[in-house]
A and B are shown apart, each in its own frame.
Chain A
Amino acid sequence: MAQDGTCTLTIIGGVDKDGSLERVGRLEMRRGEVIGIVGPTGSGKSSLIADIEQFAAGDTPSGRKILIDGCEPRSETRSDPRKKLIAQLSQNMHFLADMTVGEFLRMHAKSRGRSPDLAERVIELANTLTGEPVHPDHHLTILSGGQSRALMVADIAVISDSPIVLIDEIENAGIKKREALDLLTGEGKIVVVVTHDPMLALMTSRRVVMKNGGMVRVIETSVDEEKVCEDLAKVDSWLMNLRETIRRGEVVGAAT
């Protein structure tokens, strides 16, 4: 992808679960854009971002094609992590690797052609998002779901610093979702967020609606919706504060 601002990611629509053509036949995303994906469970949201992650070329169940700057990506861009354009935070986050956190992060940095010293920075950052701190000597397999996700958010921010970021349901991880999203959405990136969370959905500039495996509609976030989003942000930070208070084992007062 060109390092200047000219890059686009294009999804050429395929078929839904019944094999009918998707109603959204083509979708272009530009740098600096945060785009949402919404829809009921099982409607194909995760499959859509999996298609993007693997640069589907008509070879997945949806038959979608992904283009970068209007062209099909070359095969080394598809697979070599050193040239990878995409960082993905997946929905299922249970580590199977029996390694320590430090060992794993150093190895991951190496696979991305980055310095292994970044591992410490990842752990530090992860610990600003989660409750109980993660330690470099911890085994990955003992981390909780929230700790694992916090670690992967920090890993994406520091090690897999890629121009395209895909995020699957960050709100269900029990970590600070706003802070996590801020870390992941760097300047000039294309960010795709799968979400059921009204605030996160309205923070995007557009959202794709999924149904029965297909993209059925693209909604631009209206000025009214932006206002709703601001109100939601207040409610959300009130909720988050309450959550933290309760987590610390303290007693909450009445709302003012």
Chain B
Amino acid sequence: MKLAVIAGTPGSGKTSVLIHAGRTLLRYGLRPAVVKIDCLWTEDDRRFERLGVPVAVGLAKDMCPDHYSIYNVDEMLEWARSQQADVLLNETAGLCLRCAPYPDSALAVCVIDVTTGPNAPLKVGPLLTTADVVVVTKGDMVSQAEREVFRERILEANPGCRIVEANGLTGKGAAELAELVRDGPEVGGDMRLRHNPPLAICTLCTGELRVSKRHHRGVLRHLDGFMEYSGE
């Protein structure tokens, strides 16, 4: 079984590119299955269903969507096996850029939209810097020079990555991505994350609604960068 984790900011074109890549995987004779993780609602499952492959949705609701996605990797793989799939495509919700939901023995794909401007690759953080493949979408909306500058910025943030210029509308680049998924690693038994999630577990995580500082406990960081533990 192979696993590809496709992360990226909302609306960056993950589903559009994956649908085209899925078609190529089917042409290769592979049996892909798709799990879409989102926060509250998604209709991506209906779009993927048109591919005629098994699709499942996981809604994180009250849990952080990336943590939810990581926590459920085993269940997702089990489900994919029960569907006789040999490739699992996991599209994440990708909201908090600090979490990178990429296990080591998976193909880590970050989808990023070129219209977010050339500073975006510097803002995205581990989601981009720990990815194997960076898929750049919506190149049709900017000039060639802007595409090239964007590419340069990605390489500054993640010098080792493979960049795929894709178009979610026409399917350009999807075959290249499909090839990388096909040649990607087999999932291992004891997968580890590539990057530690941010420190959390404060009173907000457990449901505190009051804003004032005096109500909060845990590992907390001040605006000036000072970090402290407040509690017993």
Contacts and interface: CB of A to CB of B under 8 A. Distances in A.
Interface of A: 50, 53-54, 59-61, 75, 79, 81, 84, 87-90, 92-93, 95-99, 104, 107-108, 110-112, 152, 155, 159-160
19 contacts: A53-B144, A59-B172, A60-B170, A60-B172, A81-B152, A88-B144, A89-B144, A96-B141, A96-B146, A97-B118, A97-B142, A97-B149, A99-B118, A108-B149, A110-B152, A111-B148, A155-B145, A160-B144, A160-B145
Interface string B4-44: 00000000000000000000000000000000000000000
A98 to B, nearest CB: 5
Interface in B50-70: none
B149 A107 contact: yes
Given A59-B175, A111-B151, A160-B144, A98 B119 contact: yes
Nearest to A54: B172
Given A61-B170, A111-B148, A111-B151, A96 B142 contact: yes
B155 to A, nearest CB: 8
B145 A152 contact: yes
Contacts of A160: 144-145
A98 B115 CA distance: 11
B93 interface: no
B119 A75 contact: no
B59 to A, nearest CB: 32
Contacts of B152: 81, 107-108, 110-111
B143 interface: yes
Contacts of A54: 165, 172
B218 interface: no
B160 to A, nearest CB: 14
Contacts of A112: 148
Nearest to B114: A96
Interface residues of B, number: 25
Contact of A93 (B143, B148, B149, B163): B143
Contacts of B125: none
Contacts of A59: 171-175
Contact of B149 (A50, A75, A90, A111): A111
B45 interface: no
Contacts of A88: 143-144
B117 interface: yes
Interface string B124-156: 000000000000000011111110110111000
Nearest to B20: A59
Contacts of B172: 54, 59-60
Given A54-B165, A111-B149, A90 B171 contact: no
B104 interface: no
Nearest to A98: B117
A90 B144 contact: yes
Given A81-B151, A108-B149, A92 B170 contact: no
B144 A96 contact: no
Given A104-B118, A159-B145, 12 more contacts: A54-B165, A54-B172, A88-B143, A88-B144, A92-B141, A96-B146, A97-B146, A99-B117, A99-B119, A111-B148, A152-B143, A155-B145
Contacts of B163: 79
A97 B141 contact: no
B176 interface: yes
Shortest beta-carbon contacts, A-B, top 5: A111-B152, A111-B148, A81-B148, A88-B144, A107-B149
Contact of A87 (B144, B146, B153): B144
B182 to A, nearest CB: 15
Contacts of A61: 170
A84 B143 CA distance: 15
A108 B145 contact: yes
Nearest to B153: A107
Contacts of B165: 54, 79
